[in-house]
Amino acid sequence: MSTSKKFSPKQHFSLIMRGIRLYRAFPKPVMLSVSLSAILDAAVPFINIYFAAQVLNELAGARSMERLILLVILTIGLNLGCVLIQRAISRWEAYCNNKSFDAAYKILSDKALSMDYCDIEDASIMDDYSQIRHNQWFTGYGLLKLTGPVKEMIQGLIRIVMAIALAFTLFTFQVPYGLPYTWLDSPWIMVAVLLIFAGPVLLTPYLNLLGGKVWVEDLEKEKKANNFFNHYFFDMHRDNISAKDIRIYDQQRIIKAQLAKSQEWDWRNNQTWAKSMKGEAKFVATGVAIAHICNGVLFLYVALKALAGAFGVGSLILYVGALTQFGMGISAVMTAFGKLYNNNPFLAKWFDFLDIPNKMQQGDMKVGDSSKYEIEFRNVSFIYPKSDEYVLKNISIKFKTGERHAIVGENGSGKTTFVKLLCRLYDPTEGDILLNDIDIKEYDYNEYMAIFGIVFQDFGLLPFTLGQNVATCIDYDDERVGKSLDSAGFSERLTTMKNGLETYLYKRFEEDGVEISGGEAQKIALARAIYRDAPFIILDEPTATLDPIAEYEVYSKMNEIAGKKTAVFVSHRLSSCRFCDDIIVFHEGMVIQRGNHDYLLENENGKYYELWNAQAQYYQV
Ligand code: ADP
Kindly state if the Cβ of 130 falls inside 6 Å of ligand 1. Answer: no
**Is pLDDT above 70 for 135?**
yes
User: Three-class SS string for 185-230?
Assistant: HCHHHHHHHHHHHHHHHHHHHHHHHHHHHHHHHHHHHCHHHHHHHH
Please report which confidence band the pLDDT of residue 391 belongs to, taking 50, 70 and 90 as the band edges: very high
Please report which confidence band the pLDDT of residue 553 belongs to, taking 50, 70 and 90 as the band edges: confident
Kindly state if the Cβ of 415 falls inside 6 Å of ligand 1. Answer: yes
- For the CA of 413, the closest atom of ligand 1 is 3
Residue ID of nearest Cα to ligand 1 atom 7: 416
CA–centroid distance, residue 104 to ligand 1 (Å)? 35
User: Three-class SS string for 157-193?
Assistant: HHHHHHHHHHHHHHCCCCCCCCCHHHHHHCHHHHHHH
**Is pLDDT above 90 for 389?**
yes
Please report which confidence band the pLDDT of residue 452 belongs to, taking 50, 70 and 90 as the band edges: very high
Per-residue pLDDT at 248: 65
pTM (two decimals): 0.76
Residue ID of nearest Cα to ligand 1 atom 26: 384
Kindly state if the Cβ of 414 falls inside 6 Å of ligand 1. Answer: yes
CA–centroid distance, residue 540 to ligand 1 (Å)? 13
CA–centroid distance, residue 544 to ligand 1 (Å)? 18
Strands, sheet with 390-399, edge to edge from the N-terminal-most edge strand: 390-399, 375-383, 430-435, 438-439
Of 134-148, 253-267, 285-299, least confident by mean pLDDT is 253-267
Contact 485, 527 (CB under 8 A): yes
Residue ID of nearest Cα to ligand 1 atom 20: 417
Per-residue pLDDT at 215: 61
- Which of 314-318, 428-432, 529-533 ranks highest by mean pLDDT? 428-432
Residue ID of nearest Cα to ligand 1 atom 14: 412
Pairing of strands 582-587, 590-595: antiparallel
Q: Identify the residue with better confidence: 496 or 301.
A: 496
- In this structure, what DSSP letter does residue 497 have? -
| pLDDT tens digits for range 277-336 | 676 677 777 877 887 788 788 888 888 888 877 777 788 888 888 888 888 888 788 788
Percent of the chain with pLDDT over 70: 83
Kindly state if the Cβ of 589 falls inside 6 Å of ligand 1. Answer: no
Within 370-425, residue ranges assigned H as helices are 415-422
Please report which confidence band the pLDDT of residue 222 belongs to, taking 50, 70 and 90 as the band edges: low
Q: Which residues pair with 59 in a beta bridge?
A: none
Burial of 254 (0-12, 13-18, 19+ CB in 10 A): exposed
Per-residue pLDDT at 4: 46
Please report which confidence band the pLDDT of residue 2 belongs to, taking 50, 70 and 90 as the band edges: very low
| pLDDT tens digits for range 39-69 | 999 988 888 888 888 888 888 777 888 999 9
Of 89-98, 212-221, 370-379, 458-467, least confident by mean pLDDT is 212-221
CA–centroid distance, residue 383 to ligand 1 (Å)? 10
- Mutate-to-test residue for ligand 1 from 416, 421, 585, 590, highest number of ligand atoms within 8 A of CB: 416
Kindly state if the Cβ of 205 falls inside 6 Å of ligand 1. Answer: no
Per-residue pLDDT at 333: 85
Of 225-229, 348-352, 353-357, 492-496, least confident by mean pLDDT is 225-229
What are the CA-CA distances from residue 100 to residues 138, 361, 477 (Å)? 16, 29, 36
**Is pLDDT above 70 for 217?**
no
Give the DSSP H or E segment for 591: strand 590-595
- In this structure, what DSSP letter does residue 620 have? -
Average pLDDT over residues 22-44: 92
Average pLDDT over residues 560-576: 83
Contact 433, 376 (CB under 8 A): yes
Contact 47, 81 (CB under 8 A): no
Q: Identify the residue with better confidence: 137 or 355.
A: 355
Of 47-61, 191-205, 291-305, 467-481, least confident by mean pLDDT is 191-205
Kindly state if the Cβ of 390 falls inside 6 Å of ligand 1. Answer: no
For helices 65-114 and 313-354, the axis angle rounded to 10 degrees is 10
Per-residue pLDDT at 197: 73
Q: Identify the residue with better confidence: 209 or 499.
A: 499
Q: In 331-474, which ranges are E strands?
A: 375-383, 390-399, 404-409, 430-435, 438-439, 452-455
Per-residue pLDDT at 502: 93
**Is pLDDT above 60 for 621?**
no
Burial of 73 (0-12, 13-18, 19+ CB in 10 A): exposed
For helices 518-532 and 548-556, the axis angle rounded to 10 degrees is 10
Kindly state if the Cβ of 287 falls inside 6 Å of ligand 1. Answer: no
- Tell me which amino acid residue 265 is: W
CA–centroid distance, residue 414 to ligand 1 (Å)? 6
Kindly state if the Cβ of 417 falls inside 6 Å of ligand 1. Answer: yes
Per-residue pLDDT at 619: 55
Please report which confidence band the pLDDT of residue 263 belongs to, taking 50, 70 and 90 as the band edges: low
Strands, sheet with 404-409, edge to edge from the N-terminal-most edge strand: 452-455, 536-540, 566-571, 404-409, 582-587, 590-595
Per-residue pLDDT at 327: 81
Kindly state if the Cβ of 409 falls inside 6 Å of ligand 1. Answer: yes
Closest to 466 (Cα-Cα) out of 533, 515, 511: 515
- In this structure, what DSSP letter does residue 143 have? G
**Is pLDDT above 90 for 433?**
yes
Kindly state if the Cβ of 387 falls inside 6 Å of ligand 1. Answer: yes
- For the CA of 457, the closest atom of ligand 1 is 2
Per-residue pLDDT at 251: 66
Kindly state if the Cβ of 416 falls inside 6 Å of ligand 1. Answer: yes
Per-residue pLDDT at 39: 93
Give the Cα separation of 297 and 316 in Å (integer): 15
Average pLDDT over residues 456-479: 90
Measured between its terminal Cα atoms, the distance across the chain in Å is 66
Contact 621, 418 (CB under 8 A): no
Q: What is the mean pLDDT of the chain?
A: 84
